[in-house]
Amino acid sequence: MALFTIRFHWLARCSARTLAGFLLVVLTLSSCQKKEDAVAPTPAPPAVQLANDAKLGSFLTDGQGNTLYYFTLDVSGSNNCGAAACAAQWPVFYAPAITVGAGLNAADFTTGKTAGGQNQTLYKGWPLYYYAAPTGSQNVREQPGQTQGNGIGDVWYVVRPDYTVMVAMGAVENKVTSKTSFKPYLIDPQGRTLYTFSADAAHPTTQATNCTGGCTDAWPIFYQANLKVPSCLKASDFGTITRTDGPNGGTRLQTTYKGSPLYYFVADNGVRAKIEGEGGDWAVAMP
């Protein structure tokens, strides 16, 4: 009887230890499972992000890496790609909720509408598009990472966030002759027209005369450091001169294009796509 009692107590202790070990394993596995369940899901990509290219620099893409483009005829901020063939080759980009990747500011994006009432996302006032190449009887969107639409027709370009000079295309009226011509011209990133003055000497090293005093009140000078331009322009065509008519008798800098100093026109009122200064000695700066 005593032997039976000893064995019973020994078995009871072993069973308790086994049960405790089993519970410990169960709790450990449960804890691991909870940790696995608690892992945050992979966040969705931003609606717009930046891609990089050795030749084109940083430019905008959608969240899947599809390149976005701007149309030089859209300088006013309105979609001018409404014809069926154009719209098929250049589908609009629209993101109802803008989230952006590193290097971009969500405040630079707005929503507009095409002439047909379709929503379209704008970046710094420029409507955004994809590129879909004509292939047989249909148009096929290019693959993520491709930039085949850049430079097409000399009017379509990738969208860089750091452009300092851009190209626009539109009707330009000569205010002296009242004749209108359709041509490309240089603008700043806000779409404001840039001009040249025929009285300025080519390739000047200083600019103390020609357009000074009251002239620069009407024709403010344009200056941008670190020129970033679309692929249709050469950064080497831009230069800088030092003017001697700076504040308090000092100097100031002015950007030149192919040797000609660049100016704004005050009558344009800083409005994008406005051209009131064409005519006489003044002309829009042409690429």
The band of 205, judged by pLDDT with boundaries at 50, 70 and 90, is confident
CA dist., res. 140 & res. 130, Å (int): 10
pLDDT at 1 over 70: no
CB 59 within 8 A of CB 160: yes
60: buried, middle or exposed (CB in 10 Å: 19+, 13-18, 0-12)?
buried
Give the pair of three-digit tokens for residue 139.
Answer: 């148009």
What average pLDDT does this structure show over 271-284? 97
Give the type of residue at 276: E
Residue 3 has pLDDT above 80, yes or no: no
**Domains of the chain, residue spans:** 48-158, 166-284
CA distance linking residue 250 with residue 213, whole number of Å: 14
Tell me the pLDDT tens digit for each residue of 209-238. 689 889 999 999 999 999 999 999 999 999
Q: Are 196 and 237 in contact (CB under 8 A)?
A: no
Please tell me the distance from the alpha carbon of residue 72 to that of residue 169, in angstroms, as a whole number. 5
Mean pLDDT for 128-148 is: 96
The answer to whether 223 touches 240, Cβ cutoff 8 Å, is: yes
Closest listed residue to residue 130, CA positions, set 114, 109, 146, 106: 146
191-211 per-residue burial string, b: 16 or more CB within 10 A, e: under 16: bbbbbbbeebeeebeebeeeb
Place of tokens 């292939």: 135
190 contacts 176 by C-beta, under 8 angstroms: no
Alpha-helical (H) ranges within the chain are: 2-37, 84-89, 214-218
- The predicted-structure confidence for 82-124, as pLDDT tens digits, reads as follows 999 999 999 999 999 999 999 999 999 999 999 999 999 999 9
Specify the pLDDT at position 36.
52
pLDDT at site 42? 82
**Cβ contact 59:69 at 8 Å:** no
Say if pTM beats, i.e. exceeds, 0.85: no
Residue 85 has a pLDDT of 96
φ and ψ at 231, to 5 degrees?
Answer: -65, -15
Which helix or strand (DSSP H or E) is residue 148 part of?
Answer: none
Residue 28 has pLDDT above 60, yes or no: no
